[in-house]
Amino acid sequence: MSKKNWPLWEVFVRSKNGLEHRHCGSLHAADAEMAMSNARDVYTRRSEGVSIWVVESSNILASNPENNGEMFEPAADKVYRHPTFYDLPDEVKHM
Amino acid sequence: MSDKEVKNLEEIFEARIARDEKIEPKDWMPEKYRKTHIRQMSQHAHSEIVGMLPEGNWISRAPSLRRKVALLAKVQDEAGHGLYLYSACETLGISREELYDQLHSGKAKYSSIFNYPTVTWADMGAIGWLVDGAAIINQVPLCSTSYGPYARAMIRVCKEESFHQRQGFEIMLKLSQGTQEQKDMAQDALNRWWWPSLMMLGPTDAESVHTEQSMKWKLKRKSNDELRQQFIDQTVPQADLLGLTIPDPDLKFNEETGHYDFGEIDWEEFWQVVKGHGPCNKKRMKDRVGAWERGAWVRDAAMAYADKKEARAKKRKTA
């Protein structure tokens, strides 16, 4: 029986230059270096990426869905942040 | 939380699923939803892991380099699928260690099909063609299941699985075009894997205890009997193409229904294997637990090395 378990890491892969890294899953590894080589084997066996980030999961702070109201609802009544809120005559071009 | 509040939350939850909304790890969910998903997802992960064993048996004996690299890649995919599914399962608040414990202690099940032996090379063909074929039929609907991490893992799994079935069929095709001995070998493999493959799609609807709830949660889109019929209908013409005979004297196309009628499945055999009395249950568990135990010192050494490296880096910083 192992004395201490390998921690959990989150894996982010950039599929090609010009695109952002996207979360694609997680894995266990003893350290960052091993997380990187495991990520390569587990998540890019078919040329799915050109760049990988690994982050230890315990370093991620996630918002709590129970607080979604106070977190995200204030944005809902701020329609003036969208271009369509402003009335302009049809003759105005390029705006 | 009072019972009434829970009931209210449950109603909101069920309505979200009915609207095809996804459930994500930190969302509130009924305890039964969590447990059912842990059970099904871990069973699925365990099946991928144990599924490597019968095929691993043939890697060193593959008849050509082409077959060997394909089989290696397939087995590696299965390890990958197991890992996607374990980590998706862990988002429900169970640790990897607990999941392994459940497999190794026999508390958790894995697909019974892997308790059959792989005695000839043709078994690699039959497994890819039939076992992976049946697995795909089971898995495709799961790409749109309600639990986000499971659905995302299944999309990756399904994308990769189609090569597994094609490489299996190719093995069968080559054998069935070969010498009489090779043809016989292919037929023998079909004879042994046909019925267990049909059983893989689960007990008949009348016997299936979880179906109704699973349908609601989109863990299931079609019943076991519907999936089985779909598998038979698509596989019979493939067997014809190979020039092989499916070992079921009652198999016959029914003009009226547009489906194949088929013979009685030996459910007694199925339950015996599920209960641990299949030909290889003991061997599979022994191999799996043995591999895990023999690897313990490697896992410990890697962790000790990582800890030491971190301590050294800290020391250098403070120095």
AA identity, residue B97: E
Both tokens assigned to B132: 């992976």
- Contact present, B82 and B111 (Cβ < 8 Å): no
Q: How far is A52 from chain B (nearest CA, A)?
A: 17
> Domain residues for A67?
8-88
Q: Do B305 and A5 touch (CB under 8 A)?
A: no
Interface test with B, best of A26, A54, A56, A68 (most B CBs within 10 A): A26
Residue in A with minimal Cα distance to B305: A30
pLDDT band for B29, please (50, 70, 90 cuts): very high
A77, with CB counted inside 10 A (0-12, 13-18, 19+), is: exposed
**Is residue A1 in some structural domain?**
no
A22 φ, ψ (degrees, to nearest 5): -125, 145
Interchain contact, B27 vs A65, CB within 8 Å: yes
B306–A34: do the CB atoms touch at under 8 Å? yes
| Confidence tier at B85 by pLDDT (50, 70, 90) | very high
pLDDT at residue A49 above 50?
yes
* Adjacent-strand bridge partners of B87: none
**What is the band of B152 on the pLDDT scale with cuts at 50, 70, 90?**
very high
- For residue B134, is it within any domain? yes
CA distance B263 to chain A (A): 41
Q: Report the pLDDT value the prediction gives residue B2, as an integer from 0 to 100.
A: 85
Does the pLDDT of residue B251 top 60, yes or no?
Answer: yes
Closest C-alpha to B130, from B144, B146, B113, B117: B113
Query: Which is nearest to B50 in space by CA: B95, B6, B109?
Result: B109
Give the CATH number of the domain where residue A31 resides. Answer: 3.10.20.520
Verify whether the Cβ–Cβ distance A5 to B306 is below 8 Å: no
* CA nearest to A26, candidates B161, B40, B83: B83
B87 in contact with chain A, both atoms CB, cutoff 8 A: yes
**pLDDT at site B108:** 95
Predicted confidence (pLDDT) at residue B319 exceeds the cutoff of 90:
no
d(C-alpha B245, C-alpha B251), whole Å: 10
Residue A25 included in any domain: yes
Question: Does the residue B293 lie in any domain?
Answer: no
Q: Which residues of A touch B87 (CB under 8 A)?
A: 8, 25-28
Count of domains forming chain B? 1
Per-residue pLDDT, averaged over B240-255, amounts to 98
Q: Does B303 touch chain A (CB under 8 A)?
A: yes
**Is B145 a domain residue?**
yes
If you measure CA to CA, which chain A residue comes closest to B78?
Answer: A42
The number of distinct structural domains making up chain A is: 1
Mean pLDDT score, B313-318 = 90
Q: How far is A79 from chain B (nearest CA, A)?
A: 25
ipTM of the complex as predicted: 0.89
Residue B111 scores a pLDDT above 60: yes
Q: Which of the four pLDDT bands, split at 50, 70 and 90, describes residue A38? A: very high
Task: Provide mean pLDDT across the span B13-26.
Answer: 95
CB-based contact A45 B77, cutoff 8 Å: yes
Name the residue among B83, B87, B300 with its Cβ closest to that of A3: B300
Region B98-110: mean pLDDT is 96
Q: Which residue pairs, CB below 8 angstroms and at least 24 apart, start in B228-236?
A: B228/B198, B228/B201, B229/B259, B229/B260, B230/B137, B231/B133, B231/B134, B231/B137, B231/B197, B231/B198, B231/B201, B232/B198, B232/B259, B232/B260, B232/B262, B233/B259, B233/B260, B234/B133, B235/B130, B235/B133, B236/B260
For residue A55, pLDDT beyond 80: yes
pLDDT score recorded for residue A1: 44
Mean pLDDT of chain A: 94
The pLDDT > 70 percentage for chain B reads 100
Name the band, by pLDDT with cuts 50, 70 and 90, for residue A3: low
Residue A53, helix vs strand vs coil: strand
Assign A2 a pLDDT band (cuts: 50, 70, 90): low
Whether B292 is covered by a domain: the verdict is: no
A27 and B300 in contact by Cβ < 8 A?
no
Residue B71 confidence (pLDDT): 97
Residue span of the structural domain in which B39 resides: 3-278
Residue B72 lies in a domain: yes
Answer whether residue A95 is part of any domain: no
Give domain status of residue B304, yes or no: no
pLDDT at residue A95, as a whole number: 87
Alpha helices in B201-223 (DSSP H): 211-216
- B31 in a domain, yes or no? yes
